[in-house]
C-alpha cells in the first residue's frame, strides 16, 4: 500500500488501520491485509504504562517504528510525531525524516499544525492529519465537538488539513453527525476512532481490540474482538502450577 492507494479508496471501500508497536503483531496485521499500521504514541499508555502520551519521546517512536517495520511486507506504516517533536518546522522536518529512515512511509501530526505540515509536504513527506480529541494536549479525554463552536472549529481544521494535502485525517471522539459532515466535505479519506460509522475507515488501538487491557474500563467506542488478558492469565497460572508441582517439563520437553 502507498498513500495514493489509500487516497483512492475513498468512496470505494472502507479503510482499516490498527496500531502496532512490535514485530509480532505487525506481522499478523500485515498477513491479514490491514491497510495501515499506526505506530501510535498511544504506546506511552498501552506499552509503557503511563497515564497519557505526554512523555513519549522520538527515540521511543524510532525504536517501535523499526520493530514494526521488521514484520511488514505490504501494509502502509504511519508513525506518530510525538509531543514536542514538531515544536518548530526545522525540528519537525528532521524528526519526520528520521521516522521515514526507520521504516515509516508517512507521519501523523495531532491538530491543525499548518506551518509544520506544509513544510513536511513540501519535502515530500506524506502526512496524516488528526482532529477532534488530541491526546497530546487534552486535559481530559472526552468527546469533542459537542458545542456548535467546538464542532465548527473541528470542521474548519479538517477542511484546512484537506486543503494542505494530507493523505488522510483521523477523527477522534466526535459525534457521528460531525464525522459524517467532515467525511462528506473533504477529498481525503477520514479514519474514525469513536467517530461513528460514516468515516471512510476505522482505527483501533490493538491492545484494546485484543482485550489485553484487563479489567480497566474502556471507552464506549472500543469493541473487544478477543480477550487475550484471560488467555494469558490462564496460561501463566497453568505454567506456575505445573512448574511448582513438577509436571513441567516432561520427557518430551527434555534433551537426552
Ligand atoms: O496514538 C494512537 O494510537 C492514535 C490513535 C488513537 C488514532 O493516535
Per-residue pLDDT tens digits for 36-75: 999 999 999 999 999 999 999 999 999 999 999 999 999 9
CATH of the domain at 22: 3.20.20.60
Burial tier of 101 (Cβ tally within 10 Å: 0-12, 13-18, 19+): exposed
pLDDT for residue 133: 98
Domain match, 234 and 138 both: no
Give phi and psi for 43, each to the nearest 5.
-60, -25
Percent of the chain with pLDDT over 90: 96
Cα separation, 126 vs 213, whole angstroms: 32
Domain match, 190 and 64 both: yes
Q: Provide the phi-psi class of 181: left if phi over 0, else alpha when psi is between -120 and 50, else beta.
A: alpha
Cα separation, 41 vs 48, whole angstroms: 10
* Lining residues, ligand 1, CB within 6 Å: 19, 38, 40-42, 80, 170, 172, 193, 203, 205
Confidence category of residue 200, pLDDT binned at 50, 70, 90: very high
Cα separation, 10 vs 65, whole angstroms: 26
- Residue ID of nearest Cα to ligand 1 atom 5: 40
Range of the domain at 239: 228-256
Domain match, 74 and 96 both: yes
Residue 139: active-site member: no
Q: What is the pTM of this model?
A: 0.96
3-state SS, residue 136 = coil
pLDDT for residue 215: 66
When pLDDT is averaged across residues 97-109 and rounded to a whole number, the result is 98
3-state SS, residue 226 = coil
Q: What is the mean pLDDT of the chain?
A: 97
Number of domains in the chain: 2
pLDDT at 182 over 80: yes
pLDDT for residue 217: 83
When pLDDT is averaged across residues 17-42 and rounded to a whole number, the result is 98
Catalytic residue among 122, 172, 230, 250: 172
Confidence category of residue 216, pLDDT binned at 50, 70, 90: confident
Confidence category of residue 195, pLDDT binned at 50, 70, 90: very high
Domain match, 219 and 236 both: no
Domain match, 9 and 78 both: yes
Q: How far is the CA of 43 from the centre of ligand 1 (A)?
A: 9
When pLDDT is averaged across residues 176-202 and rounded to a whole number, the result is 98
Amino acid at each position: 500500500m502507498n498513500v495514493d492507494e489509500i487516497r483512492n479508496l475513498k468512496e470505494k471501500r472502507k479503510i482499516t488501520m490498527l496500531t502496532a508497536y512490535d514485530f509480532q503483531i505487525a506481522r499478523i496485521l500485515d498477513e491479514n491485509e490491514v491497510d495501515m499500521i499506526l505506530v501510535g504514541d498511544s504506546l506511552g499508555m498501552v506499552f509503557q504504562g503511563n497515564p497519557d502520551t505526554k512523555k513519549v519521546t522520538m527515540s521511543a517512536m524510532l525504536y517501535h517504528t523499526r520493530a514494526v517495520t521488521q514484520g511488514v511486507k505490504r501494509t502502509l506504516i504511519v508513525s506518530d510525531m510525538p509531543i514536542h517533536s514538531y515544536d518548530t518546522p526545522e525540528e519537525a522536518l528532521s524528526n519526520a525524516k528520521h521516522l521515514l529512515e526507520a521504516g515509516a512511509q508517512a507521519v501523523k501530526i495531532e491538530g491543525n499544525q499548518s506551518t509544520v505540515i506544509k513544510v513536511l509536504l513540501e519535502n515530500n513527506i506524506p502526512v496524516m492529519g488528526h482532529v477532534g480529541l488530541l491526546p497530546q494536549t487534552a486535559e481530559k479525554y472526552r468527546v469533542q465537538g459537542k458545542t456548535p463552536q467546538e464542532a465548527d472549529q473541528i470542521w474548519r481544521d479538517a477542511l484546512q488539513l484537506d486543503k494542505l494535502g494530507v493523505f488522510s485525517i483521523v477523527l477522534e471522539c466526535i459525534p457521528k453527525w460531525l464525522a459524517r459532515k467532515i467525511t462528506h466535505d473533504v477529498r481525503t479519506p477520514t479514519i474514525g476512532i469513536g467517530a461513528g460509522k460514516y468515516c471512510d475507515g476505522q482505527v483501533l488501538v490493538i491492545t484494546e481490540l485484543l482485550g489485553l487491557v484487563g479489567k480497566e474500563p474502556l471507552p464506549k467506542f472500543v469493541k473487544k474482538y478477543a480477550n487475550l488478558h484471560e488467555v494469558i492469565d490462564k496460561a501463566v497460572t497453568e505454567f506456575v502450577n505445573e512448574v511448582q508441582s513438577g509436571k513441567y517439563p516432561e520427557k518430551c520437553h527434555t534433551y537426552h
